[in-house]
Amino acid sequence: MKMHDEFQSLGENVEALIAEQKKVMFVDNDAYESLNHDIETLSARRDEIISATSHGGSRKGAGRKKGEPTTLIRVCEDIEPLLKQISDGYKCAQDKTAYKHTLVEFIDSNVTI
C-alpha cells in the first residue's frame, strides 16, 4: 500500500474510531479505553508517515537556478548595500557588457586608491 493511501486510510479509521468512542464514552469504560488505545496507535502511525514523507529526497525545481556562475566575497558591512545594488543592477541590465563598461568608467574617473 502506498504511503499516501495508507495515510488517507488511517485518517478515515481514526475518525471512525473517535465517533465510536464518543458513543461508548459513558456506557462501557473498557470499550472506551480499548478505542482510545486504537486511536493512539493509528495516530502514531500517521505521525510516522508524515515524518517520513515531509522532508528529504529530490524535488523537481528545487535548488539554485542555473545562471551565471557566482562567487562568495567578504566585504566591509558599510559597502555591502552599495555592492548589492550594483549586483542587482547588473542582473536586471539588458546589455550586461554596457553596464560593466559604465561601471568601470565610473570607478576609473571617481575612485582613487
pLDDT tens track for 2-55: 666 766 676 677 777 777 766 666 667 777 777 778 888 888 887 777 776 656
Share of the chain above pLDDT 70, in %: 78
| CA dist., res. 87 & res. 81, Å (int) | 10
- Amino acid 65 reads K
CB atoms within 10 A of CB 30: 8
CB atoms within 10 A of CB 17: 20
Site of grid cell 475518525:
15
- Amino acid 95 reads D
pTM over 0.75: no
* Interval 106-111 mean pLDDT: 86
